[in-house]
Amino acid sequence: MTAVMWFRRDLRLEDNTALKEALESSDELLLLFHVNTDQFLEEGSLNQAGFFKSVRTLQKEIESNGGRLQILYGKLEESFQKLKDRCPDWTDIYVNRDEKGYGLKRDKQAGKLLNEMGVTAHGYHDHHLHSAQEILTNSGTPYKVFTPYFNKWKEKQKPDKITVNWNAEKIIKDQLFEEDQKQFEEFLSQQPNLESVELGTEAAHERLSEFIESHLSEYDDARDIPHKDATSRLSKHLRAGEISIRTVYREVMKAEASKSRETFVQELAWRDFYNMIYATHPNQKEQSIKEDFRQIDWDNNEDNFRKWAEGKTGFPIVDAAMRQMNETGWMHNRLRMITASFLVKDLLINWSWGEKYFQKMLIDYDAASNIGGWQWAASTGTDGVPYFRVFNPTTQSERFDKDGSFIREYVPELKGIEGKKIHEPSKLTEEEQEEAGVVIGQDYPEPIVNHKRSRELAIQAFENSKK
């Protein structure tokens, strides 16, 4: 009898619920990752490149531990049939369940196929500290606002780390799907180069330790400053499950109690909250949650969207942020709020355009958190910022990048501008431009919109949608 451990967003050999159960319950275990060709993103996706680099990293780790991760490449139904044909005595499959979005749809499709094949599926909650159905109001309904959710979340006992007893002798080591492996490697060779990005469980643990030892104590004060290495940077590891959320929580809680520790733990609760929101609002990727704002008369200017995406808006903090993401696959959280607000309320472009672009470019892309963040910034989510609150990109820049260090790193055309004038280069005199070695309108664009006027138009558009 053969059992299968199907890895998805849990790319690790430790603290893994489904893997623990699979190893303890089976005599012969096939380790599987399925590359679903129906899920591919457009060419040039750093998100996709990062995720599949994580898969390859896990494959190498399993090999170094005396096992093999089999790759199936293709559509789900055809791949599972191939697996059943190759392993006719396959009886059980172990998975860590998804509760929303693509993962939930895939699991429903897989469940039907497995049932027809006579394979028993064993599913476990693993991706979050608390499942989408675990934290409810006193009347038994899902929360809509974060603060009361967080108050209930704090009261709940948190799960402990799980011990996985690895046993390589149980793992099928023969290469069963050689052609699929070749297709996977060919696919990897066509992805954007992320050589400088460290992924995998070892890198995740190193970063967690470094964060706790060197950055956690100043997290509350420094987390909004983009040029500082003050955030955990664990998001790219958590999204692929290279480290478990239980491990992160338990290790952080060993640190001395402080306001910074509390603030960081609150961010872990936001992760659970957005998972719950997506599970209870399954259409939120395509549709604003607040009905009042589903009829906004968006401008949706494609030229302005392109300038935003390329970091050529004439607003230095916005441009630096977008270029950071385009170059590295990561963007500081404060900058995600600034760039999202700018797209939606300065350019009056539908938030879903920005969400999809972030999906393409972020190596830490998590659908629930990304959609939740965009709907928050766009004032269309359950607990979004008020629609009349519009971030002033210049004020945000002056506040969170005071000396312009971050801007100078990612917008080198402006590095010659001294002091605070870097926040509004369009106000430089010709003499100042000459001294800085930049010509505004030529080397760096003029602002593509007038913020004050754009703010007025955005508020009016939101108010008109409510009528």
In whole angstroms, what is the distance from residue 250 CA to residue 238 CA?
14
For residue 321, the number of C-alpha atoms closer than 13 Å in the C-beta half-sphere is 28
pLDDT at 365: 98
Count Cβ neighbours within 10 Å for each residue of 93-108 and write b for 16 or more, e otherwise. Answer: bbbbbbbbbebeebbe
Which residues lie below 8 Å from residue 350, measured CB to CB, with a gap of 6+?
A: 296, 298, 300, 344
Q: Residue 246's closest CA among 230, 268, 277, 231?
A: 268
Q: Is 96 a catalytic residue?
A: no
Q: Pairing relation of β-strands 2-7 and 69-74?
A: unpaired
pLDDT at 148: 98
Helices 351-361 and 302-310, interaxial angle, to 10°?
40
Name the catalytic one among 28, 210, 251, 298.
298
Name the catalytic one among 308, 351, 353, 376.
351
Q: Residue type at 80?
A: F
pLDDT at 43: 87
pLDDT at 176: 97
Q: Is 99 a catalytic residue?
A: no
Q: Residue 84's closest CA among 122, 113, 56?
A: 113
pLDDT at 334: 97
pLDDT at 395: 98
pLDDT at 57: 98
Which domains does the chain show, CATH number per domain? 1-125 (3.40.50.620), 128-156+200-280 (1.25.40.80), 291-466 (1.10.579.10)
pLDDT 10s per residue in the chain (467 long)? 799 999 999 999 999 999 999 999 999 999 999 999 988 888 899 999 999 999 999 999 999 999 999 999 999 999 999 999 999 999 999 999 999 999 999 999 999 999 999 999 999 999 999 999 999 999 999 999 999 999 999 999 999 999 999 999 999 999 999 999 999 999 999 999 998 999 999 999 999 999 999 999 999 999 999 999 999 999 999 999 999 999 999 999 999 999 999 999 999 999 999 999 999 999 999 999 999 999 999 999 999 999 999 999 999 999 999 999 999 999 999 999 999 999 999 999 999 999 999 999 999 999 999 999 999 999 999 998 999 999 999 999 999 999 999 999 999 999 999 999 999 999 999 999 999 999 999 999 999 999 999 999 999 999 999 86
pLDDT at 187: 96
Q: Is 326 a catalytic residue?
A: no
> How many beta carbons lie within 10 A of that of residue 139, not counting itself?
5
Name the catalytic one among 36, 210, 251, 270.
270
pLDDT at 39: 87
In whole angstroms, what is the distance from residue 244 CA to residue 239 CA?
10
Asked whether 292 and 457 are in contact (CB, 8 A), the reply is no
Structure-block tokens of residue 371: 């959609």
Q: Residue 181's closest CA among 79, 77, 51?
A: 79
Predicted model pTM? 0.96
Structure-block tokens of residue 324: 């950071």
pLDDT at 425: 98
Q: Is 308 a catalytic residue?
A: no
Name the catalytic one among 36, 301, 333, 392.
333
The alpha carbons of the chain give a radius of gyration, in whole angstroms, of: 24
> How many beta carbons lie within 10 A of that of residue 418, not counting itself?
12
In whole angstroms, what is the distance from residue 105 CA to residue 25 CA?
27
Name the catalytic one among 267, 398, 409, 424.
267
